[in-house]
Structure 1
């Protein structure tokens, strides 16, 4: 299991990242943080500090307190200004009650998963998602070429909160 922490310097102004980097919540702040080149300006996203350019990694995300959430990985070069399409062609491999492919892949899930394991196999070009509570696979993207670019855990949150269990 990879230890993943959220990078507050990338967080959209409406996302408040905890001091330990293990959780984020959507908040209507009167004093949004200063804009910076690393901060998402349009979409309520945040990246992890960690980045990967080889190997196999996995991490857990608890979405039980989130209203509208998506989790996955993105290319490190993902634009932070303006909207980005949430799909592999735009540099994001993610899940949000459906696989965000182009067009989105509808999934027949028995229930909405609340705890997700995100798995990355860089050499095989695979990103997969698993329901932690019932130990079942949710979706695995077809193999992709990451073209040697570093990937970072990626999170989208609109309302509620998410956390990264240790």
Structure 2
């Protein structure tokens, strides 16, 4: 069961009371400062972390024009400017400017997707060292990362969510864990 950790959320992000959705409020809210919180990017992590086994969750991205989803190592840097890549402990894919889907490899890999994705399935198989992203409606794989590519394999993997870059006019559509 994946729920969002408000202690990791950038101050612009608002987490629902049930911990199942996140939206960009467009304003920096007064929130307690802590070492777990992302301070420069609109990122949030789940409360639950995984060190073994197989885990699957789905995220409804709705009509959002920007989003990024996947996993991060618990040990990732949370302060300052960050680059989302396996080398830095992030295995993620996203949608940019309402146009292109990308796997955040180095360099990024453009994904061929027929139509607009509305729900993303994420399957983390730690024993097989893989994370695969799925188009839930078409029941098709979008991209698979091998976890051996990049970060150290220490500690937990946490589900990762981002509403994308911080635009002047926020997109109020939430990302929802279903």
Check conservation: 2:12, 2:28, Cα contact below 8 A: no
Matches within 5 A, 1:10-159: 10-29=8-27, 31-96=29-94, 97-144=101-148, 147-158=153-164, 159=171
SS in 2 for 1:152: strand
Cα distance in 2 for residues equivalent to 1:37 and 1:129: 29
Q: Runs ≥4 in structure 1, deviation > 6 angstroms? A: none
Q: CA RMSD in A?
A: 1.5
Structure 2 unaligned spans of 5+: 95-100, 165-170
What whole-Å deviation, never above 9, does each CA across 1:88-140 have from its counterpart, x for those lacking one?
A: 01100001111110000111111231100111011211011000111111000
Query: How many residues are paired up?
Result: 163
Matched, 1:162 2:168: no
71-80 or 29-38, which moves further after superposition?
29-38
Check conservation: 1:14, 1:32, Cα contact below 8 A: no
Cα distance in 1 for residues equivalent to 2:106 and 2:49: 25
Shift of 1:162: 0.3
Check conservation: 2:62, 2:175, Cα contact below 8 A: yes
TM-score normalised by the chain length of structure 1? 0.92
What whole-Å deviation, never above 9, does each CA across 1:31-87 have from its counterpart, x for those lacking one?
A: 432322111000100000000000011100110142310000000011110122111
Structure 1 unaligned spans of 5+: none
Shift of 1:143: 4.6
